[in-house]
Structure 1
């Protein structure tokens, strides 16, 4: 009997284990593209499941979907929130208070006035228009009763584009983990979350950070590479969405305190955080803060790190980072 047990152990050792597979799904959703990579011996996940998740989020949070919950709220006075809406709203309000109102999802009327909303505009707003709109813009105009969201002013509208893609990344990551996947990279519209390692080599995931060219409003090449095995990386930049009017470049990053597009030395901010919803919300807020305040804000918090690209007073492009970010660099 002893010899039989030894024989069984030897035979079991030679049974070939399933090989690691690198599985990828690429597609389009939310007005952008997505790329998902994971490593597994086998997988039952397919693109229809991913597309379904992203489409469901759109029916809740897209200001470009006329039937979405957020559109119904913007066109009315209240809406019954689903889980997606409630999660994003709660995180948005948390970030609003954390940033002293710099991150504010009620910025929609200003976003629309400056030509970045779902409706076309024919001219830039004047100072009187901005002044009148600013009374509509504050998250203090929002309140909830149970699962219903209300507004205190009819002119208040919300836009969660500054946080929704990060949230979408987290939802997909949660879906992968629910299916037993522990080594993955999820990217939606440039917002990324990773966990685990490349297999079978067990290498850390590598993520490149994009940088603008000599012109602040042009994409260039990868400026830095970081290696991580858990967490999220998102980037906000003045070069990502803008248009020119009367010789001026108008960026989509609106400062809710002034009502005008942000104008400071920052060109882009990349944030590392435990999850993508946190990183996505904060990268926009840090862009609006400016270099000095953004670094101070980041250093005061142990759960985030940031890399900042900016223009110096003499016109040169430079970069810096929080102390924790340097530890992530290759």
Structure 2
């Protein structure tokens, strides 16, 4: 009698694999669940390097810096083309509240790649506003053209969300169906924690209103398969005469946004969508934010805002409640 033995190794139970590092001026953390290691940190860092070569205003010679220095425009790669296409879409869908051409204003207010200078006056802002408006960007084939030479773009308000989507796509291409990708607080999740089949939970922080406030989790959510991003006027700012100037620039006025919303958390199918809309909601104010949300049933939002008496309150779109509790 003959016996046949299998050379196949036993199937291993899925377990958590974690990759962490630094990229895009912040940190990233990737957790995926599989029976073995399927992707490496080297591969992830290579993706970030490719993204920065296209989209980073902080990297000399990047594609975006070449566009900003050009007189007429440049040839785009796939990363730049995808981000510009989505940015223009959100620009029109938010009546210009999200606008990547605010870069001249971002620099003027001291939030660009160079060291902050003196605060601009109203005359300087009026002059810079003539260079602002995504309607001044034209896409012809794979070329991005500018209507006037002074048009410059800054995609920091959407690029990290796009980066999260790129990493998520890379994981899925390697057969990973359960994961969480986080880059600078922008998150995308799919599936559940294994082997316990638990939901992936995400904390929403109460905004820090002074530099001495320790982060406090205000809500815990679980979004299933999708993305969540947060934009806050409290996250990055300059002090001017005792006032906090937000890094979120209102493209309509040219001045830092000063609406009542201090934090906008958006859930959407993709992180690039959530990342673009969270900035627009922040600049829109509560009433304007709900007007945008009514036109976009594919996204939900949780808003933290300050009343005139200084009281901090929150509100949310009708469908956001299903994410609460982290169930």
Q: Equivalent of 1:26, from 20, 35, 59?
A: 20
Secondary structure at the residue paired with 1:92?
Answer: helix
1:80 matches 2:79: no
In the alignment, what sits opposite 1:236? 231
1:311 aligns with 2:306: yes
Structure 2 residue matching 1:197: 3-state secondary structure: coil
- What do residues 184-230 of structure 1 show as CA deviations (whole Å, max 9, x unaligned)? 00000000000000001111111111111454995621110111220
Q: Report the equivalent of 2:124.
A: 129
Out of 88, 96, 102, the residue aligned to residue 107 of structure 1 is 102
Task: Provide the secondary structure at the position in 2 that maps to 1:244.
Answer: strand
* Structure 2 CA distance for aligned equivalents of residues 85 and 276 of structure 1: 16
2:53 aligned partner: 59
Residue aligning to 2:278: 283
Counterpart CA distance in 2 for 1:218 and 1:71 is: 36
| C-alpha distance after superposition, 1:51-91 (max 9, x if no partner) | 00011000000011111000000001311100000000000
Between the aligned partners of 2:145 and 2:214, the Cα distance in structure 1 is 40
Residue 264 of structure 1, CA deviation: 1.3
Residues 216 and 238 in structure 1, CA contact (< 8 A), matched pair in contact too: no
**What CA distance in whole angstroms lies between the structure 2 residues aligned with 1:280 and 1:315?**
27
RMSD: 1.9
Aligned residue pairs: how many? Answer: 321
1:143 — aligned with what?
138
Larger radius of gyration, structure 1 or 2? 1
- Cα distance in 2 between the residues matched to 1:63 and 1:54: 14
Match of 2:39 in 1: 45
Which one of the candidate residues 85, 91, 102 is aligned to 1:90? 85
Asked if the contact 2:15/2:33 (under 8 Å) is kept, the reply is: yes
Aligned partners of 2:209 and 2:234 also within 8 Å: no
Instruction: Name whichever structure is richer in strand by fraction.
Output: 1
Matching residue of 1:68: 62
Unmatched segments (≥5 aa) in structure 1: 1-7
